[in-house]
Chains A and B, each alone.
Chain A
Amino acid sequence: MKTIKVLAVLTLFITLNSCTKDDDVQPQFQIETNTVTNLHAPQIGGIDQMGNPQPISGEFTKFDFSSGSITTSATEWDIAFRATSIIINGGVSFESTDEPERSGNAAAYMATGTMDMVNAVNTSLLEQDSVNGYVLSDWYTYAGPPTHLISPTAGKILVIRTRDGKYAKVEILSYYKDAPENPDAFADEERYYTFNFVYQPNEGETSFNN
């Protein structure tokens, strides 16, 4: 573990150096493109088998863009998932049970386009979670009967300012375990997110182009 850190710092140092030397621009980190598979986002409650609504609760599964992985940290997270709900680490609570405290300054908006089309952040659209609801709520389509599938709506990109002022964009690909080719709402396990994301690690940089 230590070795890796040292290596990382070294690489960083070399990159920084070479950049300054070559063309006199600001230090640059490489933009990261990644896929996250099977991020499990369970929930307690909801509609029971008799069709009656039960109180919803349960821990949100928190995600940190800088490490590209889920985290249990109380503060070092950017977005968090519970069933179809996605919250950001910024703004105020929608007052649902077990929401983690928002300590960061994250903000977000839903963009329309493909991953490639969303090549820069329009900061004027950024909003934070509020008592009116979550910013990132309109990402899926519920098919209703007969399939009852929950599918990430094609052309919906989640654009996020992280808790510490960096930017990321996310395309959710599946809500079912192992992102099946032909999901079956009755057979496949739900609440497993698969998504692509692009992280711009340079603070304040709104472009997703290298």
Chain B
Amino acid sequence: MHLKSLVISFFIFSSLSNAQVRLKDTVVEQKLDEVILTATRTYRQLSSLPLPAQIVKQEEIMAMNSMRLTDILNEQPGLVTVSEFVGGAGIQMQGLDAQYTLILIDGVPLIGRSAGTLDISRISVGNIKQIEIVKGASSSLYGNKALGGVINIITNKPKTDFHGKLFYRYGTFNTHDTSLNASFKNDNFSWSLFLNRNSSDGYQFPNAANLNTVDPYSNYTLNSKLGFDLTSKTTIFVSGRYYIQDQIYAPTLEEKGEINISEWNAHLKVEHHFNTKLSGDLELYATRYKADEYLNSIENDSLFSKSDYNELLLRPELKGIYKPSDKSTVIAGVGLTHESLDRTDFSTKPIFNSPYIFAQYDGKPKKNLNLILGVRFDSHNEYASQWSPKAAIRFKLNDHLALKGSVGYGFKAPDFRQLYFDYTNGFVGYTILGYNTVVTRIPELEAQGQISNIVVPISEYEDRLNPENSVAYNFGITFDPISTLQFELNLFKNNIHDLIDTRLIANKTNGQNVYSYYNVKDVYTEGLEFNSSWKPSNTLKFSLGYQLLFAKDKAAEDAFAKGEVFARLSPNSPAFQLDEDDYFGLYNRSRHMINLKVFYNYEPWKLKSNIRVNYRSKYGLFDTNSNDYLDRYDEFIEGYMIWNWAVNKRINKHYDMGIGIDNIFDFKDPPSSSNDFLFIGNIPGRIIYAKFNIQL
């Protein structure tokens, strides 16, 4: 006992004294390194930012040997990868669904949300410099979709001279990942190239032959960037990205086909410094996302179904940055987003045009006070125009303690599907209509004798559908008692209005129904996030993240409070009444999430090792007791913990190699029978891998 406490106190003492010795350069190093662009659209120190934000650096991505963006984000505090029934893995942030987070690459948006969620497993991490995560509504800078937050992927910038790097990783499920990075830079020219191939045999759970386990796939990413300094004051940046994926598509045992995805984007940016105080940039961005899928009947090899998705986004933007002094920065910009979509099951080929204008002040009116005020106006041809204000403040009490708070507005415009869908299910016979389609399509169906009864009058569809919108509040405290120890606590609340849901609008003569979209729900998510990191020495680092979350539907809360909700203990037993305490909240939300990471470097052997643990408490996937609500008598996915381990060794200046195990204890929750739909589809079990790096 004595010995133990002695050892511990020695450990703490020695690390404290260590810390004090290195205090100066550590601080400097951190402050230089941790610069974030996403939060203000100017380069800002992360540590002094009044907004809740995080940076995941290349070093961490390399240490974890990640391949795709999903892998790395899933291990960040308060973030969790959620997969939806219709393909695609997205990120849940502050309890908001994946579709409410804007995903950017080098500041410009990725598209291809065919079912609402952008599949971020599409993004290779092989050329990422850092991932910037800004939590809380950010529409004041980014407009549409920045309701829950923004994730911006910053790719590598070329360093002086020629550099080349080859990465290869092989692991379970015959998964190969190969990356090539090459770059060159001299005084006024830079060039970089990134090539990645990722393929896997996928995996299949025994009882889920026809459900969303992963079918075999292979994909390629190509990204090349050029930079010129035209004059000492003018620079040009050009970037092109191309992504292509082929995946087997086998949703049932009777049919088999393929999904082919291709995406390209082109990005041009001209930057000019007029003088030391004023600079401006012109950005032109274009991107196209295509997904074509077909299914053939296996029995007679005839075409069973086919669908196409072809989305285009164009965006010119002009932005100015004015720095009258060291104490303040003003930015302002104007732009236009043009989107079009050509898709199977759509009534028209819709076009969205949305001009916008924004401005932001970021300044220090007093020495210890930082204030950010921003506003953006988005006009739109298909839905109500939006004003998105934001205010944030940070007050530094002393060198160790700071308070920060922010209020912001965020919105997500109705997507193409919610406005223009015109789909009738071939198996069951129900119909889903986009909001704008109802007015013309219902009378047509009626004339064809397909409608037996109209439940919601068409006149309700004459107004425009409102964007889903939210007001987000964040309040945080950062506390750095010593330079090696950091604590951050953030309380958050997102009040979301006009959430779009489907409802039954008419009965069909075939006994099925017609559904359409409408603004209905008010939901909120609230909770706290706690992050801490401790670096007892240069070779050891601990980090701990925790999120507490309550995500609830207000109408559901009312229904429980009024005693209008009932449940059964088993599907065939009599019902009983539920009360407020029985309401669990929204689907797919865990009350508690914890992640713990330990990084350790053993210098004599040039070994870098880490252990990461992720915990997620129980959550519901769907209503299992037929009362439309998630209550305590529903069946849940039980809480689970996943342990990951990696070790990398530097052999010499040019060679690195590493091995690792993701999900060491082989946790998985597959379906227990073909009738069990309450299972985890995106955790395949233990993954063992090896990788090597060659640097030139």
Contacts and interface: CB of A to CB of B under 8 A. Distances in A.
User: Does B associate with A?
Assistant: yes
Interface of A: 46-47, 51-53, 56, 112-115, 117, 132-133, 140-141, 143, 145-147, 149, 151-155, 171, 173-174, 179-184, 186-187, 194, 196
17 contacts: A47-B429, A47-B512, A53-B510, A56-B511, A112-B566, A132-B453, A141-B626, A146-B85, A146-B211, A146-B677, A153-B627, A154-B625, A154-B626, A155-B566, A173-B572, A182-B675, A186-B674
A180 B628 contact: no
A53 B428 CA distance: 8
B564 A112 contact: yes
B695 interface: no
B426 interface: yes
B626 A153 contact: yes
A205 to B, nearest CB: 23
A146 to B, nearest CB: 5
Interface stretch (B37-45, B65-73, B272-280, B573-581): B573-581
Contact of B85 (A46, A145, A152, A174): A145
Nearest to B565: A155
Contact of A51 (B428, B508, B623): B428
A93 B569 CA distance: 37
A35 B568 CA distance: 17
Contacts of B626: 140-141, 143, 149, 151-154
A51 B427 contact: yes
B429 A173 contact: no
Contact of A155 (B211, B427, B507, B564): B564
A186 to B, nearest CB: 7
A200 B510 CA distance: 37
For chain B, what secondary structure do more than half of its interface residues adopt (helix, strand, loop), or is it mixed? loop
B429 A114 contact: no
B571 interface: yes
A113 B566 contact: yes
A155 B574 contact: no
Contacts of A174: 571-572
Contacts of A143: 622-623, 626
Contacts of B568: 154
B331 interface: no
Contacts of B211: 146
A194 B572 contact: yes
A181 B510 CA distance: 31
List 8 tightest A-B contacts by C-beta distance, closest first: A155-B566, A53-B510, A151-B626, A179-B572, A154-B566, A154-B575, A184-B675, A51-B427
Given A155-B564, A180-B572, A133 B425 contact: no
A44 to B, nearest CB: 12
Contacts of B627: 141, 153-155
A194 B626 CA distance: 16
Interface in B195-246: 211
Contacts of A46: 511
B413 interface: no
B570 interface: yes
Contacts of A183: 571
Given A141-B626, A155-B564, A184-B675, A53 B572 contact: no
Given A47-B510, A112-B564, A117 B577 contact: yes
Contacts of A153: 626-628
A172 to B, nearest CB: 10
A72 to B, nearest CB: 25
B567 interface: yes
A112 B509 CA distance: 28
Nearest to A196: B574
A112 B577 CA distance: 10
Interface string B630-662: 000000000000000000000000000000000
Contacts of A141: 626-628
A114 B571 contact: no
A8 B309 CA distance: 72
Contact of A187 (B427, B572, B675): B675
Contacts of A152: 626
Contacts of A154: 566-568, 575, 625-627
Contacts of A115: 574-575
Nearest to A47: B429
A185 to B, nearest CB: 8
Given A141-B628, A143-B626, A151-B626, A114 B675 contact: no
Interface string B412-453: 000000000000011111000000000000000000000001
Contact of B575 (A114, A146, A184, A194): A114
B425 A51 contact: yes
Given A56-B511, A146-B677, A154-B567, 20 more contacts: A47-B427, A47-B510, A51-B426, A52-B429, A114-B575, A114-B576, A115-B574, A133-B453, A133-B507, A146-B85, A147-B675, A147-B677, A151-B571, A153-B628, A154-B575, A171-B574, A173-B573, A174-B572, A181-B570, A181-B572
Contact of B574 (A133, A173, A184): A173
Nearest to B513: A142
A114 B566 contact: yes
Contacts of B508: 53
Nearest to A50: B426
B572 A114 contact: no
A112 B566 CA distance: 9
A47 B575 contact: no
A184 B672 CA distance: 13
Given A114-B566, A133-B453, A153-B626, A51 B572 contact: no
A89 B260 CA distance: 57
A169 to B, nearest CB: 12
A51 to B, nearest CB: 4
Interface in B590-646: 622-623, 625-628
Q: Which of B508, B568, B626 counts the most A-chain CB atoms under 10 A from its CB?
A: B626
Contacts of B573: 173
Contact of A53 (B512, B575, B677): B512
B184 to A, nearest CB: 52
Contacts of A133: 453, 507
B503 to A, nearest CB: 14
Contact of A114 (B426, B577, B622): B577
A147 B676 CA distance: 8
B516 to A, nearest CB: 16
Given A47-B428, A146-B677, A154-B626, A53 B571 contact: no
A181 B573 CA distance: 9
Contacts of A149: 626
A145 B85 CA distance: 9
Contacts of A196: 574
B401 to A, nearest CB: 51
Contacts of B625: 151, 154
Nearest to B509: A53
Given A46-B511, A153-B626, A51 B429 contact: yes
Interface string B321-335: 000000000000000
Among B566, B622, B677, residue most surrounded by chain A Cβ atoms (within 10 Å): B566
Contacts of A112: 564, 566
A123 B368 CA distance: 70
Which of B509, B573, B576, B675 has most A Cβ within 10 Å?
A: B675
A55 to B, nearest CB: 9
A117 B572 CA distance: 19
A153 B629 CA distance: 11
A133 B509 CA distance: 12
Residue among B564, B565, B571 with most chain A CB within 10 A: B571
Nearest to A45: B511
A180 B572 CA distance: 7
A21 B577 CA distance: 41
A23 to B, nearest CB: 33
A12 to B, nearest CB: 30
Contacts of A51: 425-429
A127 to B, nearest CB: 16
A153 B509 CA distance: 24
Contacts of B427: 47, 51
